[in-house]
């Protein structure tokens, strides 16, 4: 990619700034709120970058600044114009948003898909943005493997990107129904991943239908540690935290017990984790004592400190 040249910043009315290129960016209201606070406190620190298209200045970089300025009631922003053809404006957008917190992988995939649609191959696109062809392929693949409605949902901020990524293991046709079930139950990325796993293992259509109708109940049945315990309000904050952890511990212990003993082939590889888990469980049992009393905890701490048992 050749060096990008910009004109000196100049003030432009917000009305002349187009946002058609924002179709590749995901809405994150919290970031706009932060930008609004920054503009109000410090003013505009970085100019918006735009290219001229059809008599309008189309924003390439600075969508959050523009949205925040509109919310603040500003009438103009500092803008730097640059010249770029169709491929150039997309590669410019990528170059201006390098870094761990600039663009999500999905956004990069959307930009790269637009770049390839200008007539470039993925190899040519990779050369243009100084990336390996596998980097380009993975991100475009992420966009193409997700159902278009999910992609649009992420872009509009209606679907959590982490949840959508857990649905990639499914065919596009099944992604929407699992996404709807996950959303209705208020599941996060981890629980959605577990739901997808249950759905894949359930071959009976009626079982799958039940999973979609009652996803949280199905998860709690398959993973007892996910159940939300009723915590006694009389407990202290520390006591409530302990109650929740004990609930998780009980569920995990039940699942682990069901997988023991390991098959012969796994035993050499699991020898060390088994020893460590056995020592941790033995220590926990000593701390709990017959009734979890403070005296048993104190005795366990003394024996641990002295190396006696």
- Dump pLDDT digits (tens) for 57-98: 999 999 999 999 999 999 999 999 998 899 999 999 999 998
Confidence at residue 244, expressed as pLDDT on a 0 to 100 scale: 74
Q: What is the pTM of this model?
A: 0.67
Confidence at residue 56, expressed as pLDDT on a 0 to 100 scale: 83
Q: What is the pLDDT of residues 8-66, one digit of tens each?
A: 999 999 999 999 999 999 988 899 999 999 999 999 999 999 998 877 899 999 999 99
Identify any residues that bridge with 10 across adjacent strands, giving them in sequence order. Answer: 79
Confidence at residue 308, expressed as pLDDT on a 0 to 100 scale: 43
Instruction: Work out the burial of residue 283: count CB atoms within 10 Å of its CB; fewer than 13 is exposed, 13-18 middle, 19 or more buried.
Output: middle
Cis check for the bond before 261: say yes or no (omega within 30 of 0): yes
The CATH architecture of the domain made up of 1-83 is Alpha-Beta Complex (3.90)
Confidence at residue 242, expressed as pLDDT on a 0 to 100 scale: 84
Q: What is the pLDDT of residues 137-175, one digit of tens each?
A: 999 999 999 999 999 999 988 898 889 999 999 998 899
97: its two tokens: 């948003």
Confidence at residue 306, expressed as pLDDT on a 0 to 100 scale: 38
Instruction: Work out the burial of residue 123: count CB atoms within 10 Å of its CB; fewer than 13 is exposed, 13-18 middle, 19 or more buried.
Output: exposed
Q: What is the pLDDT of residues 202-232, one digit of tens each?
A: 989 999 999 999 999 899 888 876 656 677 7
- In 3D space, the residue among 202, 197, 204 whose CA is nearest the CA of residue 182 turns out to be 197
Q: CB neighbours (10 Å) of residue 49?
A: 22
């Amino acid at each position: 990619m050749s060096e990008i040249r910009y004109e000196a910043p100049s003030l432009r009315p917000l009305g002349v700034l187009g946002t058609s290129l924002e179709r590749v960016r995901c809405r994150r209201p919290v970031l706009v709120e932060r930008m609004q606070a920054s503009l109000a406190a410090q003013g505009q620190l970085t100019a918006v970058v735009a290219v001229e298209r059809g008599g309008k200045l189309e924003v390439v970089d600075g969508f959050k600044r523009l949205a925040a300025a509109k919310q603040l009631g500003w009438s103009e922003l500092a803008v730097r114009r640059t010249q770029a053809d169709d491929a150039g404006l997309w590669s410019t957008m990528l170059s201006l948003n390098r870094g761990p917190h600039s663009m999500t992988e999905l956004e990069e995939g959307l930009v790269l898909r637009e770049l390839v649609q200008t007539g470039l191959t993925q190899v040519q696109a990779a050369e243009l943005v100084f990336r390996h062809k596998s980097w380009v392929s993975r991100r475009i693949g992420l966009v193409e493997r997700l159902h278009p409605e999910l992609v649009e949902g992420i872009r509009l901020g209606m679907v959590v990107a982490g949840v959508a990524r857990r649905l990639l293991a499914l065919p596009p046709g099944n992604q929407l129904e699992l996404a709807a079930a996950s959303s209705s139950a208020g599941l996060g990325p981890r629980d959605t991943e577990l739901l997808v796993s249950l759905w894949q293992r359930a071959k009976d259509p009626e079982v799958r239908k039940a999973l979609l109708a009652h996803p949280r109940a199905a998860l709690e049945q398959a993973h007892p540690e996910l159940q939300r315990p009723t915590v006694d309000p009389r407990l202290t904050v520390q006591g409530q935290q302990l109650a929740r952890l004990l609930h998780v511990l009980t569920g995990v212990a039940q699942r682990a017990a069901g997988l023991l003993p390991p098959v012969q082939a796994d035993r050499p590889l699991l020898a060390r984790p088994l020893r460590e888990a056995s020592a941790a469980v033995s220590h926990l049992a000593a701390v709990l004592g017959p009734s979890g009393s403070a005296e048993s905890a104190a005795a366990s701490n003394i024996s641990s400190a002295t190396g006696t048992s």
